[in-house]
């Protein structure tokens, strides 16, 4: 081809244009990358200047919570700007609207919602370094410093100013009110005798409160982003399940000293967040629900590895790679793990009263899975539409059989299931998705809220022997009504109004009439000592 030909000239021109465009694209990409890098550096400098003193180096948390996407699930990104600008009421979070421009606030929001380049670690040494022993419980009186039925007390968690109220369940009068850590999560758990209550905060702090003496006696930070905790039936151990890092932490309860930290990973090394941890009283074991791998773990705690607990597990233990020597288990295998493989990921859970069957569901599935913990396999599939909130499920007797009922956080329905054949008996239509369902073995009614949507102010009351809604109440128009808990004897019901200017409302459990209102600051859960320590069928465990 001649260099003087028109075609050759056109080819050269086209090649030159393509090269020019490629060069321009490279320049534009380089400029964009430089801008992003400068924004990142600017955001890091803003964080160090304005946030680090409270929220810690590398966003790990300190006086304030850790600031990672995994730790900010309660705060939507579009609302984070408002928190930085206006501050947060009843916390030490100041307002920055006069200090920072909107552009700088937006940079900080983007920064704290950017995943860390490496997953933050929180080692046993880190945990131990946070341990605080406020009081020696052995030097405190072992009798209550107030007069009340110790089994009919309530702890009421008030979210608006991170406090809790100790409430007399007979007189419905507050005994004391005390500060808690930021953003409690998963519900407090009691020691078997009801003297101590243990709290877990979303940013990993575990607090032990002495109800008798009305004092926080010990604290420790067991994780960065914690889901919940459970306490053993003998009261000796607590287990903490974490989203971040991916692990469980086992504590001895007297001083909250950590005993064991276990990374939550499957046999191939894939790590997982912990959906929740539970105590299984008949099994004297903890159940660990994993979110990102298809496994459920059972960890016995009786005598911290006593031989008698494991004799029934000898075959499983050998098959799962253990030594299989019973005499070595107590010495070498404290809190061994029994892995139960599942067919699907399980995000939400319920247990039958005997803790033989686990009922679980994946958020992406349209059914529930029934897994027999003894047989280590799925024994039934339950057709459940929407997104059932199994963790808030309850059981009762209906026409001579035991049934399980669950609200639904996506659809307006309550699903009632026969626990003999795992078939759906009825779908009870409600006025919107619900979050909590509660009853009591001595009550003819089950209560379910309409937590999500335009009817959030309403609560349905269902007659358990007919599976029909017999009454719908709206005690505070325009405000969310949620989370019922019964007194020890089942005679009264306590309902929360989830508002900064909220209340706990007391109802007669039989006549359904309002008895009393106690003003509180966004009360959420109310936890009765007897119902929780005796695993009453009408409440979550």
| Length of the chain as a residue count | 541
Q: Is residue 208 part of a domain?
A: no
- pLDDT, one tens digit per residue, over 120-160 is 789 999 999 999 999 999 999 999 999 999 999 999 999 99
Of the pLDDT bands very low, low, confident and very high (cuts 50, 70, 90), residue 198 is very high
Q: How large a percentage of the chain has pLDDT more than 90?
A: 65
Of the pLDDT bands very low, low, confident and very high (cuts 50, 70, 90), residue 364 is low
Q: Is residue 448 part of a domain?
A: no
- pLDDT, one tens digit per residue, over 99-110 is 999 999 998 999
Structure tokens at 425: 């008996």
**DSSP H or E segment with residue 17:** helix 6-50
Where does 135-246 show beta strands of DSSP type E?
A: 153-158, 163-168, 174-179, 189-190, 196-200, 205-210, 215-221, 225-231, 237-244
Is the distance from CB of 245 to CB of 251 less than 8 angstroms?
Answer: no
Prior bond to 426 cis, omega within 30?
no
Give the pLDDT confidence score for residue 349 in this predicted structure: 85
Give the residue numbers spanning the domain of 96: 6-112
Q: Is residue 22 part of a domain?
A: yes
Give the pLDDT confidence score for residue 6 in this predicted structure: 66
The residue with greater pLDDT, 44 or 213, is 213
Residues in Cβ contact with 338 at an 8 Å cutoff, skipping those fewer than 6 apart: 297, 298, 299, 300, 313, 316, 317, 320
Whole-prediction pTM value? 0.82
Is the distance from CB of 392 to CB of 435 less than 8 angstroms?
Answer: yes
Pairing of strands 480-486, 468-473: unpaired
Give the pLDDT confidence score for residue 11 in this predicted structure: 58
For residue 395, give Cα distances in angstroms to 298, 331, 356, 403, 455: 23, 40, 15, 6, 25
Lowest mean pLDDT among 24-33, 60-69, 170-179, 211-220: 24-33
Rounded to whole angstroms, how far apart are CA atoms 439 and 444? 8
Q: Is residue 361 part of a domain?
A: no
Q: Is residue 120 part of a domain?
A: no
Is the distance from CB of 472 to CB of 458 less than 8 angstroms?
Answer: yes
- pLDDT, one tens digit per residue, over 450-480 is 998 899 999 999 999 999 999 999 999 999 9
CATH number, domain containing residue 94: 1.10.760.10
Q: Is residue 205 part of a domain?
A: no
pLDDT of residue 222 exceeding 90: yes
Give the pLDDT confidence score for residue 191 in this predicted structure: 98
Rounded to 5 degrees, what are φ and ψ at 252?
Answer: -85, 140
For residue 114, give Cα distances in angstroms to 40, 67, 119, 121, 460: 10, 9, 12, 17, 41
Give the pLDDT confidence score for residue 225 in this predicted structure: 87
- pLDDT, one tens digit per residue, over 408-452 is 988 999 999 999 999 999 999 999 999 999 999 999 999 999 998
- pLDDT, one tens digit per residue, over 278-335 is 999 999 999 999 988 999 999 999 864 444 444 445 444 444 444 444 344 444 568 9
Closest CA to 133 of 196, 220, 210: 220
Q: Is residue 45 part of a domain?
A: yes
Averaged pLDDT score across all residues of the chain: 88
Rounded to whole angstroms, how far apart are CA atoms 241 and 248? 5
Q: Is residue 466 part of a domain?
A: no
- Total count of domains within the chain: 1
């Amino acid at each position: 081809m001649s260099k003087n030909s028109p075609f050759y000239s056109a080819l050269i021109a086209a090649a030159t244009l393509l090269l020019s465009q490629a060069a321009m694209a490279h320049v534009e990409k380089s400029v964009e990358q430089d801008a992003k890098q400068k924004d990142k550096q600017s955001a890091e400098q803003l964080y160090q200047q304005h946030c680090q003193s409270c929220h810690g180096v590398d966003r790990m948390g300190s006086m304030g919570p850790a600031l990672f996407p995994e730790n900010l699930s309660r705060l939507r990104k579009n609302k984070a700007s408002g928190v930085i600008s206006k501050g947060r009421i009843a916390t030490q979070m100041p307002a920055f609207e006069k200090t920072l421009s909107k552009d700088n606030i937006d940079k900080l929001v983007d920064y704290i919602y950017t995943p860390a380049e490496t997953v933050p670690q929180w080692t046993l040494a880190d945990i131990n370094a946070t341990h605080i022993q406020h009081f020696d419980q052995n030097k405190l009186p072992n009798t209550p410093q107030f007069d009340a039925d110790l089994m009919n007390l309530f702890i009421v968690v008030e979210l608006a100013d991170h406090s809790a109220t100790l409430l007399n369940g007979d007189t419905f009068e507050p005994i004391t009110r005390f500060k808690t850590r930021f953003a409690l999560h998963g519900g407090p758990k009691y020691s078997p005798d009801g003297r101590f209550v243990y709290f877990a905060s979303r940013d990993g702090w575990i607090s032990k409160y002495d109800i008798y003496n009305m004092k926080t006696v010990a604290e420790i930070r067991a994780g960065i982003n914690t889901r919940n905790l459970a306490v053993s039936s003998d009261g000796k151990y607590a287990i903490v399940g974490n989203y971040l890092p991916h692990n469980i932490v086992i504590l001895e309860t007297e001083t909250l000293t950590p005993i064991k930290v276990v990374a939550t990973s499957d046999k191939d090394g894939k790590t997982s967040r912990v959906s929740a941890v539970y105590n299984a009283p008949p099994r004297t074991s903890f159940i660990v629900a994993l979110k990102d791998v298809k496994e459920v773990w059972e960890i016995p705690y009786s005598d911290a590895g006593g031989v008698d607990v494991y004799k029934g597990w000898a075959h499983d233990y050998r098959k799962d790679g253990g030594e299989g020597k019973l005499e070595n288990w107590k010495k070498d295998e404290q809190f061994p793990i029994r892995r139960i493989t599942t067919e699907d990921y399980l995000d939400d859970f319920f247990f039958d009263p005997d803790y033989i069957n686990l009922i679980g569901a994946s958020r992406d599935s349209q059914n529930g899975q029934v897994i027999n913990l003894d047989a280590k396999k799925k024994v039934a599939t339950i057709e459940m539409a929407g997104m059932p909130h199994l963790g808030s499920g309850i059981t009762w007797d209906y026409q001579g059989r035991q049934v399980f009922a669950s609200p639904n956080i996506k659809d307006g329905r309550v699903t009632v299931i026969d626990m003999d054949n795992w078939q759906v008996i009825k779908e009870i239509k409600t006025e919107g998705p619900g979050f909590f369902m509660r009853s009591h073995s001595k009550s003819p009614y089950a209560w379910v809220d309409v937590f999500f949507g335009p009817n959030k102010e309403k609560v349905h009351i269902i007659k358990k022997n007919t599976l029909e809604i017999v009454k719908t109440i709206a005690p505070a128009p325009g405000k969310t009504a949620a989370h019922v808990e019964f007194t020890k004897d089942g005679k009264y019901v306590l309902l929360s109004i989830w508002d900064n200017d909220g209340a706990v409302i007391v109802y007669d459990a039989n006549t359904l009439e309002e008895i009393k209102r106690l003003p509180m600051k966004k009360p959420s859960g109310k936890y009765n000592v007897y119902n929780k320590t005796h695993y009453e069928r009408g409440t979550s465990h």
